[in-house]
Amino acid sequence: MTMALPASAEVLTHRAPAHIAEDPANQLTLELSNGGTVVIQLRPDAAPRHVYRIQQLASSGFYDGVIFHRVIPGFMAQGGDPTGTGQGGSPLPDLEAEFNRLPHVRGVFAMARAEDRNSANSQFYIVLHPRFNLDHEYTVLGRVKSGMSAVDAIAPGEPPANPTRIVRASLGGPLPAAPAAPAAQAEAVAEESAPAE
């Protein structure tokens, strides 16, 4: 007897659905100062607002010249802070968490945040070794599909003495339309814009 899983129990895997993988805007390329190139498959099906933020910032040149400021061998490489201190971010508002069922395996691309679960902004990290204890605590929004050797070669340290920089971050296609607002936000907007009785 075969039992169907309810839709809410749908398992996410790191293999992107075809329509996601075929969209060039869902491919983030990081050209690094260590001479390597990293290509990341973004997953707007798993974290639409976080993916769109990365797409916005990469398209605007925000990440160009930014260092990997926290690199812990056997754990992860973190970047995306224009100040290089781990305290900075973009001028855009912080994002609400989009925790999902994509596991923290080697090569995962996820958003860094402060203690507040809804504080992700521009910083991200790439996992060097599986860290399943981070699952459901940080928003996973993609995975390295090529260039993991360049990630492994990112200079270690907190901060590194001679940090690796993102020379250029780019998308494989034009910036897509912004994702629809979450249902709760859409309802709040509708209530605010409803005429007073």
* 180, burial (CB in 10 Å: exposed 0-12, middle 13-18, buried 19+): exposed
Q: Which residue has the higher pLDDT, 78 or 9?
A: 78
SS3 146: strand
Domains annotated for the chain, with CATH where assigned, are: 25-173 (2.40.100.10)
Taking all residues of the chain, what is their mean pLDDT, rounded to a whole number? 89
Which residue, 64, 59, 61, is CA-closest to 33? 64
DSSP 7: G
pLDDT at 97 over 90: yes
Sign of CA pseudo-dihedral 153, 107, 30, 146: positive
Angle (CA) 15-17-18 rounded to 5° is 115
For 138-196, write each residue's pLDDT tens digit. 999 999 999 999 999 999 999 999 999 999 999 999 999 999 876 544 444 344 434 44
pLDDT at 95 over 70: yes
